[in-house]
Structure 1
């Protein structure tokens, strides 16, 4: 099996509960499609070099 890395950027206005829920949603999606999570390393709230336009 190939190994892949995934980085997900969430909006900083999420509450802690919403953040945990969204993180679990991605982990469940990976498991449903035959993958597994080897490690999780939440970086917390960080400033980006420039704002992301929608």
Structure 2
């Protein structure tokens, strides 16, 4: 298993319950795919460095996890089809 981290930005129009539901959804994808979540850090609502699709702020969340190399591909697919995700990135965190 390899160590990864993902950070994603949710649209600011989502309410707190929808943000929590999306975070739980992504955690479920990791855990159901055989991954182990090490840390979940919810940064909250912050201003973006630049405007994306006329949006200048969003809800940031960082998740550190360990998983097999196939899991990030599935997580990326889920990020892409989920409404409300403004941006996301998954990085291999091994040195």
Q: State TM-score, norm by structure 2.
A: 0.53
Match of residue 25 from structure 1? 25
Normalised to the residue count of structure 1, the TM-score between the two structures is 0.90
The alignment of Structure 1 onto Structure 2 pairs a total of residues equal to: 54
After the TM superposition, which residues 6-45 of structure 1 pair with which residues of structure 2 at under 5 Å, given as runs?
6-45=6-45
Q: Secondary structure at the match of 1:42?
A: strand
With a CA cutoff of 8 Å and minimum separation of 6, indicate the structure with the bigger relative contact order.
2
Structure 2: runs of 5 or more not aligned: 54-85, 87-95
Q: Partner of 1:4 in structure 2? A: 4
Moved over 3 A (4+): none
> What RMSD in Å do the two structures reach over aligned CA positions?
1.3
Structure 1: tracts of 5 or more residues without a match: none
The CA distance in 2 between the partners of 1:37 and 1:5, in whole Å, is 10
